[in-house]
Amino acid sequence: LPLTAGFRRSMRLCRRKSRTNQQSCYARCPSNCYSTLAAPYEEVVRYHRHPADRNRLIILVGPAGVGVNELRRRLIASNPREFQSAIPHTTRVQKSYEMNGREYHYVSKETFENMVYSHRMLEYGEYKGYLYGTSVDAVRTVLDEGKICVIDLEPQ
């Protein structure tokens, strides 16, 4: 089978049993051993954006406690002119020291649900009875400023 572009075969998957058998590793492995779904790793190259292309969205995904929030925070702190986080939406009550559009976009539950039903939310979830989420418009705002938008997600 031909390899898919960007994938390499791992020699560790097919160790030789003895020196007397000189059959190649690739001939002994089952044909599905190197499918794109079972590839042991994917070769990664540095992405060079063309100046005319728009910036991209970076989504950091991981369970609670692995540090994706800290990674996002450090990435933005390392170069705030290039990276920025989207301002999320919430249905919780605004605290006295918070400002709408700085920490969160504060909206009613009905407005939030309408955004979900009209597919305007990139991600959303519930925490302590309140809805939280990142809208497509909030991400576009960051991208329109010429910055790379960085958000972190926790799979549920």
Query: Quick check: 37 and 116 in contact, CB under 8 A?
Result: no
Handedness of CA 119, 124, 125, 130 (dihedral sign): negative
CATH number of 57-153, picked from 3.40.50.1000, 3.90.550.10, 3.40.50.300, 3.30.930.10: 3.40.50.300
CA distance 58 to 42: 18
pLDDT in tens, the chain (156 residues): 444 444 444 444 444 444 555 554 445 455 455 455 555 666 777 777 777 777 889 999 998 889 999 999 999 999 999 999 999 999 999 999 999 999 999 999 999 999 999 999 999 999 999 999 999 999 999 999 999 999 998 887
Closest listed residue to residue 14, CA positions, set 32, 37, 30: 30
**Ranges for all domains in the chain classified under CATH 3.40.50.300:** 57-153
Residue type, 54: R
CA geometry: angle 56, 58, 64, nearest 5 deg: 165
Report the predicted TM-score, pTM, of the whole model to 2 decimal places: 0.66
Closest listed residue to residue 9, CA positions, set 27, 34, 42, 37: 34
What is the structure's pLDDT at 52? 79
For 3, what's the count of Cα atoms within 13 Å in the CB-facing half-sphere? 13
Strands 57-61 and 105-106: unpaired
Question: 3-class DSSP state for residue 141?
Answer: helix
Question: Checking phi first, is residue 91 left (phi over 0); if not, alpha (psi -120 to 50) or beta?
Answer: alpha
